[in-house]
């Protein structure tokens, strides 16, 4: 319930997709929570609200990702920095001054496969760990995320950083990775780590409650290709669905910003959450589509 008298959780990002999923989970758990009314970069408003509500934990689901996609950030760099760097640091600093734990829903789109150690695991490579330095700088969005993560992890001991990638929900929300790729004219076919939100958002709340801090790759184990995801969509949601592939080089010709493709190592996440049910990504994605089918979800035809 959104009760403003001594809340336990304060959610930053009232209008956001993940913020509202988090709020629904807190509602189910009967937790006291509120949505913040300030923008990330508004320090005085942030301090005032933290002092008035005195939350035990802050969950930051806000930030600029760009509409309709991260290409927007290439032409709006000041706005992107204001939110993704200055704003997040402001929130972390205000929380740190008051001894409040902050969970920052961040991104794992900091890496890209290379031809050496970090080639796809199917080719004998190794996933990226939390200790690997970012090697993907092809989008301004990812560059700002890498900047702020480095500052948070080295200066603020009160922050839990969760690196999500290509998040997927149990519906056809326009923000879900599944919906996005079904609407593309063509897709690349590359194995990637993905975050199945139904499985992982409860884990995020548990980690916040336990006061864990530091950086965690926050995806399901393993990697799954675009074609494998679309094959599941065709199997469970739209038997008539067809798609076409193209290469990374062909994709680059139509995008302003590059896209991260990588697999993240989640050994640390699994080690520190031994009781959590975090399934291998192929199994987890199959369950997503089974749940959608059971709900009677049908394809959304483009208008």
pLDDT in tens, 16-32: 999 999 999 999 999 99
Q: What is the DSSP letter of 89?
A: H
Beta strand spans in 61-193 (E): 101-107, 159-164
Q: What angle do CA 87, 89, 92 make, to 5 degrees?
A: 110
Sign of CA dihedral 8, 58, 48, 94: positive
Q: Are 11 and 59 in contact (CB under 8 A)?
A: yes
Give the sign of the dihedral formed by CA 37, CA 43, CA 45, CA 50.
positive
With tokens 């002092």, the residue in question is: 51
- Taking the C-alpha atoms of residue 73 and residue 142, their distance in angstroms, rounded to an integer, is 10
Domains: count for the chain: 1
DSSP of 27-55:
HHHT--EEE--S-TT-HHHHHHHHHHH--
Residue 183 belongs to a domain: no
Residue 68, pLDDT score = 64
Q: Confirm whether 124 is domain-assigned.
A: yes
Cβ-Cβ contacts under 8 Å for 122 (sequence gap 6 or more):
191
Q: How far is CA 119 from the centre of its chain?
A: 22
273 located within any domain? yes
Report in angstroms the alpha-carbon separations of 225 from 33, 167, 180, 181, 269: 37, 14, 14, 11, 22
- Quote the pLDDT of residue 303: 47
What's the pLDDT score for residue 302?
56
The CATH code of the domain that includes 32 is 3.40.50.720
85 domain-assigned: yes
Asked if residue 131 belongs to a domain, the reply is yes
> Collapsing DSSP states into helix, strand and coil, what is residue 237?
coil
Whole domain around residue 127: which residue ranges?
9-167+198-221+261-279
Beta carbons within 8 Å of 270's beta carbon, 6+ residues apart = 221, 276, 278
Per-residue pLDDT at 4 = 54
Residue 261, both tokens: 């493709």
Give the residue from 107, 116, 110 showing the smallest Cα distance to 134: 110
What pLDDT shows up at residue 252? Answer: 60
In a domain, 303, yes or no: no
Torsions phi, psi of 162, nearest 5?
Answer: -110, 115
Residue 143 confidence (pLDDT):
92
Positions in the chain short of pLDDT 70: 1-5, 64, 66-68, 70, 252-258, 301-303
* pTM for this model (two decimals): 0.95
What is the predicted pLDDT for the residue at 256?
A: 56
Residue 245 lies in a domain: no
Q: Domain for residue 122, yes or no?
A: yes
Residue 75: the pLDDT is 83
Estimate the share of the chain in helix, then strand, then coil, as percent rounded to the nearest 5: 40, 10, 45
Task: Give the pLDDT confidence score for residue 25 in this predicted structure.
Answer: 98
Do residues 206 and 273 make contact, with C-beta atoms less than 8 angstroms apart? yes
């Amino acid at each position: 319930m959104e009760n403003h008298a001594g809340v336990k959780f304060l959610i930053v990002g009232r209008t956001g997709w993940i913020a509202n999923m988090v709020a629904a989970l807190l509602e189910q758990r009967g937790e006291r929570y509120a949505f913040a009314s300030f923008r990330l970069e508004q320090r005085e408003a942030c301090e005032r609200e933290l002092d008035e509500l005195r939350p035990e934990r802050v969950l930051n689901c806000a930030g600029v990702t760009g509409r309709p996609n991260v290409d927007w950030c290439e032409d709006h760099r000041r706005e992107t920095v204001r939110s993704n760097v200055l704003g997040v640091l402001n929130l972390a600093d205000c929380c740190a001054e008051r001894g409040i734990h902050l969970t920052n829903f961040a991104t794992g789109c900091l890496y890209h496969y290379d031809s050496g150690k970090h080639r796809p695991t199917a080719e004998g490579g190794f996933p990226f760990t939390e200790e690997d330095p970012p090697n993907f700088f092809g989008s301004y969005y990812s560059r700002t995320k890498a900047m702020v993560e480095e500052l948070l992890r080295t200066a603020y001991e009160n922050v839990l950083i969760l690196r999500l990638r290509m998040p997927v929900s149990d519906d056809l929300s326009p923000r879900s990775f599944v919906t996005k790729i079904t609407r593309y004219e063509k897709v690349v076919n590359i194995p990637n780590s993905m975050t199945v939100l139904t499985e992982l958002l409860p884990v995020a709340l548990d980690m916040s409650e336990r006061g864990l801090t530091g950086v965690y790759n926050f995806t399901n184990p393993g990697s799954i290709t675009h074609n494998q995801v679309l094959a599941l969509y065709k199997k469970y949601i739209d038997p008539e669905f067809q798609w076409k592939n193209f290469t990374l080089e062909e994709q680059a010709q139509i995008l302003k910003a590059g896209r991260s493709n990588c697999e993240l190592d989640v050994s640390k996440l699994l080690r520190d959450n031994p009781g959590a049910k975090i399934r291998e990504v192929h199994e987890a994605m199959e369950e997503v589509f089974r749940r959608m089918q059971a709900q009677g979800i049908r394809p959304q035809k483009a208008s």
